[in-house]
Each structure stands twice: as structure tokens, then as C-alpha cells.
Amino acid sequence: MTRQEFIAKFETLVEVDPGTLTGDSLLGQDIHWDSMAIVGFIAMVDENMGFTPAPKDIVKSKTVNDLISIVSLGIKG
């Protein structure tokens, strides 16, 4: 999965218009980020990248880039 594909999937997950998020978008500010969104994110990564990210790392994340670094092993380019 490329970085752009990841962001596009993430936009669908958090229900924002396509193309509105960047790596610097803030979780909880630009994006509605609650425990349901976190569970949805875990499922998204599990389904598309075949591993389960650790919730404690996700909770520490502040931006979309932070989430990308958690799943970086599955991101190309």
C-alpha cells in the first residue's frame, strides 16, 4: 500500500472528504478521533496490511504521520 492509498483509506474510515487530509492533519482536531475510530483503524490495518497495530502506540499518536509511522512496514514510497 502506498502512502496516498493509506491516506485515502483513512479518509474513508474517519468520514472526511477525499483529499482533505495530509500527514500533518491532527487527530482529535482535524479528525474525529475516539475509541471507535481507533478500533476502526486497527481493523483497517489488520485487513489491509495483515498485522494488528498496538493500541498503546495508536493512542500516543498526534498526527496522521504518526499513524503512518506505526504502520510504516506496510507502506511503500
Partner 1 sequence: MALARINGVRIVGIASAVPDQARYPDEFFDRFGEQEVKKITESIGVKKRYIAASGICASDLCVAAANRLFDEGKWERESIDTVIFISQSADYVVPFTAGLIQKRLGLTTGCAAFDVNLGCSGYVYGLWMASSFITGGGMQRVLLLAGDTSTTVSIEDRSVAMLFGDAGTATIVEQTKKEGEYTFVLGTDGRGAQNMIIPAGRCRKPSSATTRVRREDENGNRRSEEEVYMNGAEIFAFTLAEVPKMVQQVLAASGKTLETIDYVVLHQANKFLIEYLAKRMKIPSDKVPLSLDEYGNTHSASIPVTMTHCLREQLSRKKMDLLMGGFGIGYSWGAVNCTVGEIVMPEMIFLSSDGVGKENIL
Tell me how far apart the alpha carbons of residues 53 and 24 are, in angstroms, rounded to a whole number: 20
Region of 2-10, 16-24, 56-64, 65-73 interacting with partner 1 (CB under 8 A): 56-64
CA distance 36 to 20: 21
Among positions 21, 58, 64, 70, the unique one binding partner 1 when judged by CB under 8 A:
58
Among the listed residues 54, 60, 62, 72, the single contact to partner 1 using CB under 8 A = 54
Interface characters, 26-45, with partner 1 (x: CB under 8 A): --------xxx-xxx-xx--
Rounded alpha-carbon distances, angstroms, from residue 22 to 18, 47, 51: 11, 22, 23
